[in-house]
Structure 1
């Protein structure tokens, strides 16, 4: 019986190599459901199983003239379906990895945009609070913190003592710490 099956397989393979559609249809009818069941056991997805098995049969027809089967036809188709399923998993993993990468890039960009907006809002709060300081205190604070001038330079620019500069800066810092949440100057 096994010898007879072997001869039938050889005949079908030869017919397939010669482009005989009847041989192809016999192969398809004989193995399609069995292969779909095998792939379904791996994937638990009927539609995917059918797609993958159809891909194997499509490639079998496309490569019929160069077909080289050294084992049984059944083993060849079995291995082909198994490999097709593995290729599907690899492709799926690549797609998931790509989606993860895109998701993290989008989240990071959103975070940066939110951070920038938050900084702008914080700066507006600071500017409003600075505007509430007495004029001289504002000038000293801006020269000190925004223009990075030393106390002695500020004293010379404004014509006041360095002690007065220190008093204005202390007053401004105290006011900002109590009126601007998260103030860090």
Structure 2
């Protein structure tokens, strides 16, 4: 191989020669050491991308060492990540709650009463209330959707809230 000045690895022709000189041996090293699990083609390409990003810091004499070290570290990071993924897959999410059966029953009964009161409410109140509280729309947006003024929307939302408060004991909104 011809003598290449150390500080010119950022030149395209020198980098191309570096690639042709070391890419096959780097690929083979990764394949023999880790097999197909590390995807040696991609890892080789990533190592050369890192070399290009750091071409001003790495001399030609140290390019081979840099490439092999970077590629090895990339594979080790992939393996670490796979171990973490496997660890998290083994964690079983809890499928129980700390609520008592009485609380759950009361919650279901309250939800049924809430839905019944909503169903018996005037449609204009119900629609404005649900758009405001369930879909978090601003009064101005609701007014545009319904083709009314913001004052009308405010009246409808607060009227629906008053009906719910009157019909349901302990009804509060955040």
Q: TM-score with structure 2 length normalisation?
A: 0.48
- Rg larger in structure: 1
Q: TM-score with structure 1 length normalisation?
A: 0.45
The structure where helix makes up a greater share of residues is: 1
